[in-house]
Amino acid sequence: MRPADTPPRVVVLGPTASGKSAVAMHVAQQLGDIEIVAVDAMQVYRGMDIGTAKPTTADQSAVRHHCLDLVDPSRRFTATQFQEAANGALDDIGVRSRRALLVGGTGLYLTAVIDELVFPGEWPEIRAELEADADTAGLFARLAALDPEAASKIEPANRRRIVRALEVCLGSGEKFSGAGPGTSAYPNNGVVQVGIRWSRDVLARRISERVDAMIADGLVDEVRGLLVGDVPMSHTAAQALGYKEMIGHLEGSMTLAEARDEVVLRTMQFAVRQERWFRRDPRITWVDVVEDPVGETSPYVLRAFGA
């Protein structure tokens, strides 16, 4: 548990394209002693900048950011590793008498940090066997038979979480759902969470506009550059929103227009999953934004810091 005299920790969260990064930058520049901890499973990869909407060089120069560019895209990266990196960043921020603002899009990573999740061990050989099985539906059925509770909390298409849960079940001989209180417990952790919520149709428009901007900014060339290296991208990195589709385009399986539409569709589906994850947490204060995420959400975040 954190000491009682540590600075308050505040989170601004929401689905992709909700404007949370802009809110965080505004708050940090208003207060002056804020550093941003990015809680994003894909922004940890070096060279994956445009497609992950990573903070710009200018933003990173203006406000110190943490947990960006931690590993090469060829490397596997886990929630446990992120938890370690984020805790190190938070300790560093506190030692320097600064305050942390966590910007969250990846629900599991955020929960791991603010609720101090304890993760079960790893069994690489079992994981390799599971990852070699292309039948995601079959893997989900195996998980449902071994651990129905775990299966009930995982989207049937979320291959990465299905494989991880099966790995633990098979490796430990215990149910994945029995590994501690998990993500369904919402303890009083002293962290203030402010969520940004848009109507579904407006969020869809914002996502569409963001994807178009990414393509205009050079997403195709960014992906082309990632494919040139001798070491291939990890499965996780290659499946990232925007990257999977542009890889398909570059390999000739779809036109750029088709890839663009697929990115928009998958991103919207992902945003819905993000909202489902976050809305289970009763500790979040939601701001229903109508027009301006910075103007409408920042006062809540500033108030959390006592400003």
- Tell me: the pLDDT tens digits for 230-268? 788 998 999 999 999 999 999 999 999 999 999 999 999
Cα–chain-centroid distance for residue 19? 14
Q: State the pLDDT confidence band at 3, using cuts at 50, 70 and 90.
A: very low
**Comparing C-alpha atoms, which of 259, 245, 204, 185 is closest to residue 17?**
204
Q: Find the mean pLDDT for residues 51-77.
A: 96
Q: Find the mean pLDDT for residues 57-73.
A: 97
Q: Find the mean pLDDT for residues 170-179.
A: 82
pLDDT of 33: 96
**Comparing C-alpha atoms, which of 118, 120, 116, 108 is closest to residue 174?**
120
pLDDT of 1: 47
Longest dimension (CA), the chain: 57
Is the Cβ–Cβ distance between 240 and 42 less than 8 Å?
yes
pLDDT of 247: 97
For the chain, percent of residues with pLDDT exceeding 70: 95
Q: Find the mean pLDDT for residues 149-170.
A: 89
Q: State the pLDDT confidence band at 120, using cuts at 50, 70 and 90.
A: confident
Q: Decide which of 54 and 116 is more confident.
A: 54
Q: Find the mean pLDDT for residues 192-219.
A: 98
pLDDT of 180: 58
Cα separation, 272 vs 267, in Å, equals: 9
Structure tokens of 89?
């960043």
- Per mean pLDDT, which range of 77-91, 109-123, 263-277 is the poorest? 109-123
Architecture of domain 10-117+184-304: 3-Layer(aba) Sandwich (3.40)
Q: Domain-by-domain residue ranges, the chain? A: 10-117+184-304, 124-179
Residue 247 corresponds to which amino acid?
I
Return mean pLDDT, the chain: 93
Q: Find the mean pLDDT for residues 79-88.
A: 96
Is the Cβ–Cβ distance between 101 and 35 less than 8 Å?
yes
Q: Mark out the alpha helices in the chain (DSSP H runs).
A: 20-31, 57-62, 79-95, 107-114, 124-131, 136-146, 148-152, 159-172, 200-216, 219-228, 235-238, 243-250, 256-279, 293-304
- Per mean pLDDT, which range of 128-142, 178-192, 234-248 is the poorest? 178-192
3-class DSSP state of 303: helix
Q: Which long-range contacts (CB under 8 A, 24 or more apart) does 149-153 make?
A: 149/175, 149/177, 150/175, 150/176, 150/177, 153/177, 153/183, 153/184
In the predicted model, is pLDDT for residue 169 greater than 90?
Answer: yes
Q: How far is CA 159 from CA 134, 183, 236, 247, in A?
A: 10, 18, 10, 19
In the predicted model, is pLDDT for residue 4 greater than 80?
Answer: no
Q: State the pLDDT confidence band at 121, using cuts at 50, 70 and 90.
A: confident
pLDDT of 273: 94
Q: State the pLDDT confidence band at 172, using cuts at 50, 70 and 90.
A: confident
pLDDT of 129: 92
- Decide if 10-117+184-304 and 124-179 have a common fold: no
Architecture of domain 124-179: Orthogonal Bundle (1.10)
